[in-house]
Amino acid sequence: MAKSAHPIMLHTQREFERALKQLVKANPMLAPVFAKSGMPTLRQRAPGFAGLCQIVMGQQLSTASAGAIWKRFSAAYDPFHPDDIRRARTDKLGRIGLSAAKIKTVKAIGKAIAQGEIDLEALADLEADAAHAALVALHGIGPWTADIYLLFCLGHADAFPAGDLAVQEAARLAFDLPQRPNAKELTALADAWRPWRGVAAHLLWGYYHVVKRRDGVPVPSSPIPAANGAP
């Protein structure tokens, strides 16, 4: 599939459904996956500093634990501003429940924003690979976190979390692979799905949910507005 001249952002369920139909039409190998999964629901979080910090909170934690820490974290710093977080006392952040590594990460992100080294919302103007590179240049932001931010906070249609275990396992099952593909192998497989790799990720998460009977999507569901005010 040819690359898009400009990044495509998906902000409504209707936009997502149109994109998925284009993806499946261009890639018949995904038709049986779609038939099994049904239509996935687009999920979103707010973009910017708060959205990225919330994803950092969820790394290697259960949904319940991450949610509790985020609730305390965001309540303690309201309004939630990068300057306040980069200047926050480490011991206070620790009492809220942040690990030492996550404290260092959120402070580094706040500093990068304050110094103009990155504009998180402006990443929507970049192609997925360039936006990914800009994020992983930040201290503590790995490939998975970068891709999840681009996909769920910006709605980047081509962001692809190749390191996500549920996506990897879904690909193994859906395409009858001999073993679970690693991030490099899955990235190569997904290249044919450009510029809709993020849509394919949602499809694979939906397939994982049906086959494994559990939710593999790393963010909770949230209401998504319809296009042009339509229901």
What are the chain's domains?
A: 13-44+157-229 (1.10.1670.40), 49-153 (1.10.340.30)
102 and 53 in contact (C-beta within 8 Å)? Answer: no
Q: Tens digit of pLDDT for each residue in 109-149?
A: 999 999 999 999 899 999 999 999 999 999 999 999 999 99
Give 195's pLDDT tier (boundaries 50, 70, 90).
very high
Amino acid code (one letter) for 50: A
209 and 49 in contact (C-beta within 8 Å)? Answer: no
Q: Who's near 72: CB < 8 A, 6+ residues apart?
A: 96, 97
Instruction: Determine the Cα–Cα distance for residues 154 and 185; give it in Å rounded to an integer.
Output: 25
**By CB neighbour count within 10 A (0-12 exposed, 13-18 middle, 19+ buried), where does 48 fall?**
middle
Which whole-number Å values give the CA distances from 185 to 18, 22, 162, 177, 216, in the listed order?
27, 24, 9, 11, 20
Q: Which residue intervals of 58-127 are DSSP H helices?
A: 63-76, 82-86, 90-96, 100-114
Q: Tens digit of pLDDT for each residue in 22-80?
A: 999 999 999 999 999 999 999 998 899 999 999 998 887 888 898 899 999 999 999 99
**1 has pLDDT over 70:** no
Overall average pLDDT of the 160-164 stretch? 96
Cis peptide before 79 (omega within 30 of 0): yes
Q: What is the largest CA-CA distance in the chain?
A: 54
Q: At 2, list the tokens.
A: 């040819």
**4 has pLDDT over 50:** no
